[in-house]
Amino acid sequence: MAFDIFLLEVIISGLMTGVMYALVALGFVLIFKASGIFNFAQGVMALFAALALYDFLAEDGWFFAVFGFTLPVWLAIPATGLIMVVLAWVIERTVLRFMVKQNEIILFMATIGLAFVLEGLGDILFGSDVKPLDIGIPQGASDWLLDNFNLYIEQLEIFAAGTAAVLVVVLAIFFQRTRIGRALRAVADDHQAALSVGVSLDKIWVIVWSVSGIVALVAGIMWGSKSGVQFSLSLIALKALPVLILGGFTSVPGAIVGGLIIGVGEKLAEVYIGPMVGGAIENWFAYMLALAFLLFRPQGLFGERIIERV
Amino acid sequence: MTDEQTNETLLEVDAISLSFGGVHALVDVSFDIRKGEVRSIIGPNGAGKSSMLNVINGFYHPQEGTITYQGQARKQMRPHDAAAGGIARTFQNIALFKGMSTLDNIMTGRNTHMSKSLFWQALRIGPAQREEIENREFVEHVIDFLEIQSIRKTPVGRLPYGLQKRVELGRALAAEPTLLLLDEPMAGMNLEEKEDMSRFILETNDEFGTTIALIEHDMGVVMDISDRVVVLDYGRKIAEGTPEEVRANQDVIDAYLGVSHD
């Protein structure tokens, strides 16, 4: 019986890690869907959002230095959201606008540059030390689950899962049922046709980058609360790559399911296969899984089928 | 020809020249489109017909000339302004949103008629929802008009070619356009489909008074449904007039038969 509980804990903890991956992957999917750009800077955007949020809250930040007070959490989060929207606008004005109709690889290179700029900017503005982010999400194990089911699960992870679920539902409705959502999908499908019905590409790109900036903020909050705001956060974004390969680059549900599979897969592999090969499987298992997918199902689980006409 | 046709000019292109590098797509082309008429643009392949439509709806920016639309003259249109000003279009190679249903595709055509802010849309309550419902109603009329009720929910990527063309027309009609640009709406269709399409075009023109600029290769269709025709060849205008006048024009006959130009 004890063994089953342990297995269950491993799976649940994997699911929760998966949710975190999914949050980062979601940001990638949004931008890729609407513009075909693989946004390498997505992870850094999450880092940047977390840094900015910390700055509003902490007494050693710029905000405190300038205004002499810190913001309460309920105000700091929308303020950071606003910063992400402004960031999206600046990116559109200074980078994307000049790259319309360019090859995707060029846009991809531009986002790599963007990642370095943002990371440098974050370093200069906020410093590179690890910052504890506490916005009042309950920490530690859930006593209730521990008492009643003898399960050890972090409250933070439950909170993250709930947030991700809400986020996905909101995004799904937004994409499927609103004019701007339709316009976003239209732009993703065919730029020219979208223009012909009066969709403004500039505006759509600002919106897409804003939305994915806000998703990055949510991801930044979760990761920051879990392990502190640190620059290695931008590396976690690389874990989103296998998630995307599994789920398909254009699918919101795919990002979630892909994240969960990777999360659970790497935890199970670590626990059950790890000891046989000396451990630390967790670090590369996701990439192996992605490789297998690339061989057998390159469009991912939910991606649009790749049909080549010959 | 509709009852509503007047001699009022809706759009006038004046001395338009467009080149890509050294390639002259359009050279000094001028003509006008009157309110309520069906104006066909014909000519052999590569004559610059599609380029002309792209100039009118702002995809291409001509180096020279002016475009006067609804009394307002400008050097070039911009796609967003053109759409907002009531110019809708279809494409030679169907440009639909393949992953979306017929209904959603046609709904995108309502884009310029919907204005509620992102804020309301995100909440999806109040004004935004009302707006959505009203526009949905209009779209259902378009669907009825084009007789495509049975494919409302089908992703358009799965539809046969002829129906895709019809959905694309639906998306353009949903915008309630003042000027409708149709780029080879009957290309690749069989006779029955062509007859349907001609009927929809004429009914649109008759019932809604929509002005239509049409590019088409099928001369039978062009002669049947056009009020006036303009003929392009190698980027230049070589003739214009009523279908009968154009048909009798020696330059036009030469262009189509491929008489050499030197």
Pairing of the two strands B64-69 and B72-74: antiparallel
Nearest Cα neighbor of B173 from B189, B190, B185 is B185
Q: Which of B153, B176, B199 is the last residue of a domain?
A: B176
Q: Do B175 and A192 touch (CB under 8 A)?
A: no
A233 pLDDT more than 90: no
pLDDT, average across residues A80-95: 93
Q: Which amino acid is at A129?
A: D
Q: Do the domain assignments include residue A301?
A: no
Tell me how many domains chain A contains. 1
Q: Do B84 and A182 touch (CB under 8 A)?
A: no
pLDDT, average across residues A61-69: 82
The enclosing domain of B115 has a CATH number of 3.40.50.300
Which tokens sit at A68? 């002499």
pLDDT of residue B257: 75
Q: Do the domain assignments include residue A232?
A: yes
pLDDT, average across residues A187-195: 84
Q: What is the largest CA-CA distance in chain B?
A: 67
B159 shares a domain with B145:
yes
CA distance B66 to B210: 23
Residue B236 is part of which domain span? 1-86+178-262
pLDDT, average across residues A22-47: 87
- The Cα of B128 is separated from the nearest Cα of chain A by a number of Å equal to 8
B111 shares a domain with B228:
no
Which residues in chain A are contacts of B89 at CB distance < 8 A?
196
The enclosing domain of A129 has a CATH number of 1.10.3470
B188 shares a domain with B69:
yes
B186 shares a domain with B78:
yes
A153 DSSP assignment: -
pLDDT of residue B117: 59
pLDDT of residue A47: 92
Q: Do B175 and A197 touch (CB under 8 A)?
A: yes
**What percent of chain A stands above pLDDT 90?**
23
Looking up tokens 């050499």 gives B260
Q: Do the domain assignments include residue A238?
A: yes
B184 shares a domain with B60:
yes
Other beta carbons within 10 angstroms of residue B115's beta carbon come to 10
Which tokens sit at B256? 């189509």
Q: Do the domain assignments include residue A309?
A: no
In A167-186, the residues whose Cβ lies within 8 Å of chain B are 170, 173-174, 177-183, 185-186
**Closest by Cβ to A196, choosing from B79, B114, B118:** B79
How much is the pTM?
A: 0.78
Q: Do the domain assignments include residue A303?
A: no
pLDDT of residue B213: 96
A12 pLDDT more than 90: no
B171 shares a domain with B183:
no
pLDDT, average across residues A34-41: 83
B162 shares a domain with B128:
yes
B186 shares a domain with B81:
yes
pLDDT of residue B112: 86
pLDDT of residue B152: 92
Other beta carbons within 10 angstroms of residue B8's beta carbon come to 9
pLDDT of residue B53: 95
CA distance B123 to A88: 21
Tell me how many domains chain B contains. 2
CA distance A27 to A110: 17
Which residues in chain B are contacts of A189 at CB distance < 8 A?
96-100
CA distance A193 to B108: 10
**What percent of chain A stands above pLDDT 70?**
96
Q: Do the domain assignments include residue A310?
A: no
Q: What is the pLDDT of residues A258-302, one digit of tens each?
A: 999 999 999 999 888 888 887 788 888 899 989 998 888 887 787
Nearest residue on chain A to B121, judged by CA atoms? A178
Question: What tens-digit pLDDT sequence spans chain B (262 residues)?
Answer: 454 556 789 999 999 999 998 899 999 999 999 999 999 999 988 899 999 999 999 999 999 999 999 999 999 999 989 999 999 999 998 899 988 899 999 999 998 888 765 556 655 566 777 888 889 999 999 999 999 999 999 999 899 999 999 999 999 999 999 999 999 999 888 899 999 999 999 999 998 899 999 999 888 889 999 999 999 999 999 999 999 999 889 888 888 877 665 5
Q: Do the domain assignments include residue A302?
A: no
Residue A137 is part of which domain span? 2-296
pLDDT of residue A159: 87
The confidence band for A308, taking pLDDT boundaries of 50, 70 and 90, is: low
Nearest Cα neighbor of B109 from B85, B139, B133 is B139
Could you give the angle at which helices A233-247 and A42-57 cross, rounded to 10 degrees? 140
B169 shares a domain with B64:
no
Nearest Cα neighbor of B149 from B140, B157, B158 is B140
Q: Do the domain assignments include residue A305?
A: no
A240 pLDDT more than 60: yes
Pick the residue of A167, A176, A178 with the most B CBs within 10 A to test the interface with B by mutation.
A178
B207 shares a domain with B159:
no
B120 shares a domain with B81:
no
Q: Do B96 and A193 touch (CB under 8 A)?
A: yes
Q: Give the count of Cβ contacts less than 8 A between chain A and B.
A: 89
Q: Which of B125, B144, B176 is the last residue of a domain?
A: B176
pLDDT of residue B120: 61
Q: What is the pLDDT of residues A129-176, one digit of tens each?
A: 888 888 878 777 777 777 777 777 788 888 888 888 888 888 888 887
Q: Which of B137, B154, B176 is the last residue of a domain?
A: B176
